[in-house]
Structure 1
Amino acid sequence: MTMPDIFGTTLFDGRMARRGYALNRMCYSFNAAENRAAFVQDEDGYCARYGLNAEQREAIRRRNVLALIAAGGNVYYLAKFAGIFGLDVQDLGAQQTGLSKDEFKARLLAAAG
């Protein structure tokens, strides 16, 4: 069975899970404060420790959520990465949609009402 294409959406399926395993594993490690500190101290070394590929490392350097998702990142794990920089899931959603955070929040409220 093939999944349908959804315009503007990167589907997180088994293939993407395998592609992003190292990236998601690294982001999961950020549950521990000492790992977040180690990442901040030496980002490239930390990425190398987890075996991120060049595409993933570049997306990390640029803090580009869409590129991280395209590289196999799962938004729930990426939220742990974003948290290091004081960002939350609404910040990630805003970046994904090209909106400001306030515009994104307003869109969420409008959809809920």
Structure 2
Amino acid sequence: MKQSIHEYLAEFEDIPGTRVYTAQRGRKGYWLNQFCMSLMKPENRERFKADERAYLDEWPMTEAQKQTILNRDYNAALDEGGNIYFLAKVFSTDGLSFLQAVGTMTGMTPEDYQAMMIAGGRSPEGLRSIKDGN
């Protein structure tokens, strides 16, 4: 029996610790990502840093999306449709490197995260399926 596209895409949600950026996530996060891209302009970065909440309220994002930015919870931002390459504009505005920001998303220190990546990345052993628990 042929698998539907919805069944196929649902399988991506079963990968522990991974959020695949799908069209559905892209639609959900459109305004979140547009906000992030606005931070490419120095004047927008200054406005954001001066009053984060006021600047976020100019964007038609959900309250949950705004909270992910205010909390700097990048994993939650991914769940809300954020794209890591757009979110990089936020942590760059905060003066963080990609390594530092992504390290916070893994619960690892930047040094430990860097060492893991240099050694080849996350081990393929261990939890491979959320629903199956294996």
Deviation of 1:60 (Å): 1.1
1:92 counterpart SS class: helix
Shift of 1:93: 1.9
Alpha-carbon shift at residue 39 of structure 1 (Å): 0.4
Structure whose alpha-carbon radius of gyration is higher: 2
TM-score, normalising length from structure 2?
0.79
Runs ≥4 in structure 1, deviation > 6 angstroms?
none
Gaps of 5+ in 1: none
Residue from 62, 65, 81 that aligns with 1:53: 62
Instruction: Please identify which structure carries the higher helix content.
Output: 1
Q: How does 1:32-111 map to 2 (within 5 A)?
A: 32-111=41-120
- Deviation readout 1:52-94 (Å, 9 max, x if unpaired): 2111111111111111111111000000011111112112221
Q: Aligned AA for 1:104?
A: Y
**How many residue pairs end up in the alignment?**
112
C-alpha distance in 2, partners of 1:64/1:32? 23
Structure 2 equivalent of residue 6 of structure 1: 15
What is the CA-CA distance between 1:96 and the residue it aligns to?
Answer: 2.0
- Once superposed, what is the RMSD of the aligned Cα atoms? 1.3
Q: Distance in 1 between matches of 2:79 and 2:97?
A: 19
Per the TM alignment, residue 11 of structure 1 is displaced from its structure 2 partner at its CA by 1.7
